Copies of this chain bind each other. A is one copy, B any other.
């Protein structure tokens, strides 16, 4: 969860949605901004609370889930299955198309680093599943451990 230039990212998000012919409404934007400003992954209910703080408007959790679905479909947000929380994509402002994400999740401070799955790893994965006659869908990986800071503290 490195620092990001929110404005730049939002501009790129808008561009991307225009390109794909989908609508980044103002509520959807607020949800994305909330996640961009968060220091760690947030649950849908936490996002609803942050939305209220930010806009002073109430938002039904049902709507938050729908907007998260929209944002996920457009690769602007990811869901971490291992803790049922959501995180803004770290690569919105990058020029390259979005790769399969890999998340390094710190079990101490909860911060998450999103990196692209590297070639070596993809290759090893494919080898591994090939032996098992399995056809991979989308190998999002969630790896738990300690971030650099938390390693030093312990």
- Is residue A102 contacting chain B, with contact meaning CB distance below 8 A? yes
Q: Which B residues are CB-close (under 8 A) to A129?
A: 104, 143, 145
The reply to whether B125 and A143 form a contact with Cβ atoms under 8 Å apart is yes
Instruction: Give the secondary structure class of A's interface.
Output: mixed
- Total interface residues in chain A, CB < 8 Å: 36
Contact, CB under 8 Å: A124 / B134: no
What residues on B are CB-neighbors of A148 within 8 Å? 133-134
A128 to chain B, nearest CB (A): 5
User: Contact residues of A with B, CB < 8 Å?
Assistant: 81-83, 102, 104, 106-107, 113, 115, 117-118, 120-121, 123-125, 127-129, 132-139, 141-148, 151
